Amino acid sequence: MPMIVDGEEPGSFERKAAPFEKKTGFAHLFAATRYSMQGLRRLWKEAAFRHEVLALATGLVLLTLRGAAPLHYLGFLLLMLVLFAVEALNTAIEDVIDRISPEFSVVARNAKDLGSFAVFCLLVANALYVAWVMLFAG
């Protein structure tokens, strides 16, 4: 039997009107900022993100102890921002998968594993960058 989501009949793909008016100009900028802060609050609930924030602090301390150049700080901060963005996307993937596929599914598991791998790649990139600065940057 097809699953009915949020009271919709299966096969009904009509585009529904937005429940709110679309904002423009500065109102849009303020709304987008508010949505981003809501996303940050949601992300903060994830232990992995809190660990990544701790990694940011640790990396900054290591760079400071090394006497790193400002450009090295910039490189590290940019890599960390990309990591945070990918972590947010991974969390969104996990939330959507949990919503639409609460039962076990190979496809759902693969989607979650791929998101996790993307985060892992950036964690490795950050660690390698800090190690390179600590060992070889002059």
Provide, for the chain, the percentages of residues in helix, strand and coil under a 3-state DSSP scheme, each rounded to the nearest 5.
Answer: 75, 0, 25
* 87 in catalytic set: yes
| 50 in a known ligand binding site | yes
Instruction: Answer whether 133's CB lies under 8 Å from 63's CB.
Output: yes
| 72 in a known ligand binding site | no
- Strand extents, DSSP E, the chain: none
Question: Residues 8, 9, 87, 103: which is the catalytic one?
Answer: 87
| 51 in a known ligand binding site | yes
| 15 in a known ligand binding site | no
What is the SS3 assignment for 79? helix
| 73 in a known ligand binding site | no
CA 115 to chain centre: 10
Largest CA distance in the chain: 65
Instruction: Answer whether 69's CB lies under 8 Å from 82's CB.
Output: no
| 116 in a known ligand binding site | yes
| 23 in a known ligand binding site | no
| 94 in a known ligand binding site | yes
Q: Supply the residues annotated as catalytic.
A: 87
Binding site listing: 35, 46, 48-52, 87, 94, 112-113, 116
Binding site listing for a divalent metal cation: 46, 94
Binding site listing for substrate: 48-52, 87, 116
Binding site listing for ATP: 35, 46, 94, 112-113
